[in-house]
Amino acid sequence: MSSAHQNLSSIKMVNIPNVDHFSFTIITAQWNKEVTGALEIGCLETLLANGVKPENIQQLEVPGAWELISAAKMVLDSNNTNAVICIGAVIKGDTPHFEYICEGVTVGLAQLCANQSIPVIYGVLTVNNLQQALDRCGGIHGNKGDEAAVTALQMASLSQKIRK
Ligand code: RBF
């Protein structure tokens, strides 16, 4: 599914006004930390490069991708962040667990998106092996953490435009 046309990793800078008023929450799953740590750094650096103030970026950790759903819900219920960026990496193993976690996380985050109006960004890799994950957290397919940051900026801006 990934193609040159859909890969946002080359677009790290977006021209969005008043970015210094935005606040973002990045939630990072600690499973496959080698991958999620690199995604988180890409995300953070892209937000900062686009003018988001460091003090307006909250970084939270959860054990695994499954916990992204409840942590995102807690954030949405308790503060007025402009977008929640969920970062995780689910890597296929020998059991069907992979399918259950991927589907659960995807459906859970989609439900959060559908039920309230703060953007929840899906920065979760669902891959067949570690190499595919490494290719997407700073490798040949860019860094999907950068893409999550760009998407968060675009959605925060869209939300501001609609509310005006
Ligand atoms: N969490 C991830 O973020 N990525 C994984 O690849 C992953 N694989 C798992 C495989 C198994 C067999 C189990 C039991 C858990 C896995 N988890 C993974 C953790 C999951 O997201 C969650 O933290 C735990 O199931 C506790 O709710």
* In a domain? residue 10: no
Tell me whether residue 97 is one of the annotated catalytic residues.
Answer: yes
Q: Number of folded domains in the chain? A: 1
* In a domain? residue 103: yes
User: Using a 6 Å cutoff on CB, does residue 92 contact ligand 1?
Assistant: no
Q: Name the amino acid, one letter, at 67.
A: E
User: Using a 6 Å cutoff on CB, does residue 102 contact ligand 1?
Assistant: no
User: Using a 6 Å cutoff on CB, does residue 69 contact ligand 1?
Assistant: no
* In a domain? residue 5: no
Domain interval for residue 88? 23-163
| Sequential pLDDT tens for the chain (164 residues) | 554 445 665 678 888 888 999 999 999 999 999 999 999 999 999 999 999 999 999 999 999 999 999 999 999 999 789 999 999 999 998 888 899 999 999 999 999 999 999 999 999 999 999 999 999 999 999 999 999 999 999 999 999 999 87
Q: Is the pTM for the entire model greater than 0.85?
A: yes
* In a domain? residue 27: yes
pLDDT at 9: 58
* In a domain? residue 12: no
CATH code at position 64: 3.40.50.960
* In a domain? residue 119: yes
* In a domain? residue 1: no
pLDDT at 79: 79
Neighbours of 25 (CB within 10 A): 24
Q: Is 99 helix (H, G, I), strand (E, B) or coil?
A: helix
Question: Token pair of 129, please?
Answer: 């092996």
Inter-axis angle of helices 67-78 and 97-115, to 10 degrees?
20
The residue contributing the CA closest to ligand 1 atom 14 is 97
CA of 157 to the centre of ligand 1 (A): 33
